[in-house]
Amino acid sequence: MPAVVRGGRRQSSSQAPKRAAAPKGPARGRGPQRRPQSASGVPGKLAAIGRLDLSPRAVLISIAAGTLLLVGVMATGSRAERIGAAFSQGMDGVTAGMGLKLQKVSIEGESPEATLAIQQAVQLSAGQAITSIDLDALRERVQAVGWVKEARIVRLLPNTLVIQVVEHDRLAVWQSAGQVVVIDTQGQVIHGADPGRYAGLPLVVGRGADEAAGEIVPLIAQRPRLMSRMDALVRVDGRRWDLRLKDGSVILLPARDPEAALIQLDALDQRQRLLDLGFTRIDLRVPEAITVRLTADDA
């Protein structure tokens, strides 16, 4: 009978294997036992993981492939851009073929005066792929319209764009150096706004009146009796205001704390109905020495 190989030792089948006697005590001179490793020297759990081929031949092939790719891109030059554009057009065609075409543009928040200017700024065509529309560029065009303070664009698939606009507040009509314009609460000119259509807005006059109007106009608007008699607010020396009324009379406000002066004027009007009696001049520049010149005093 042929020999059976076990563990690298040959034994005769006719001889029973001998059991090694159990050690009576700890073996002397033995080092710590190590776990078996694969033939490659990698631990058993990591033996299944593939190894990166870093042979010289593989490295040379990788370098050659990268070089050929770079040369191809450089040789293409402007054709790469044309290829990209053609691909983009192709994708737009596919998108349009799926029914994602622009059919409706809805503008919200605009005034009747601003509608036409906003429509002209949109510059979109019906039937184009809705996914190809540059929303940032569209928002910039809409916000460039003088009426518009800010805009928001929403794309509603499959076929609608919603343009939501917030317009500048119309605060006053500003007259300076022979020009008349409409301004907002920040003193900015609203280009395209016709001052003739805003007869209900207060008129502010003079250099610097545009920048300071945002503070004084709301104070006057809180006083309907005074507001109804107002003809213009005139900026004096870039420091204070004269309130000119429709009957030709004038109210002089101080440079500091004009609101406190208007409160004093309210008290006088409540006690004496001053605005109804008529006057030519009220000087509120010195709180402790208010002077009132009634119309009868000029006779």
For residue 49, pLDDT over 90 is answered with: no
Share of the chain above pLDDT 90, in %: 60
| 114 vs 296, more confident | 114
Q: For residue range 254-265, list pLDDT tens digits in order.
A: 999 999 999 999
* Closest listed residue to residue 114, CA positions, set 199, 185, 193, 172: 193
Share of the chain above pLDDT 70, in %: 66
For residue 45, pLDDT over 70 is answered with: no
Q: For residue range 157-188, list pLDDT tens digits in order.
A: 999 999 999 999 999 999 999 999 999 999 99
pLDDT at 188: 95
| pLDDT, average across residues 73-93 | 47
For residue 53, pLDDT over 90 is answered with: no
| pLDDT, average across residues 275-282 | 90
pLDDT at 6: 34
Contact 182, 189 (CB under 8 A): yes
Q: Give residue 97's pLDDT band: very low, low, confident or very high (50, 70, 90).
A: low
Q: Give residue 139's pLDDT band: very low, low, confident or very high (50, 70, 90).
A: very high
pLDDT at 95: 53
Asked if domains 104-167 and 172-298 share a fold, the reply is no
| pLDDT, average across residues 269-296 | 90
| pLDDT, average across residues 275-288 | 92
Q: For residue range 186-238, list pLDDT tens digits in order.
A: 999 999 899 999 999 999 999 999 999 999 999 999 999 999 999 999 999 99
To the question of domain 104-167 being in CATH 3.10.20.310, the answer is yes
For residue 148, pLDDT over 90 is answered with: yes
Q: Which CATH architecture has domain 172-298?
A: 3-Layer(aba) Sandwich (3.40)
| pLDDT, average across residues 95-117 | 85
Domain boundaries in the chain? 104-167, 172-298
Which of 39-48, 101-110, 137-146, 227-236 is least confident? 39-48
For residue 135, pLDDT over 90 is answered with: yes
pLDDT at 29: 45
Which of 24-33, 141-150, 275-284 is least confident? 24-33
pTM more than 0.85: no
For residue 41, pLDDT over 70 is answered with: no
Contact 279, 272 (CB under 8 A): no
| Residue showing tokens 């005066």 | 113
Q: How confident is the prediction for the chain on average, in pLDDT?
A: 78
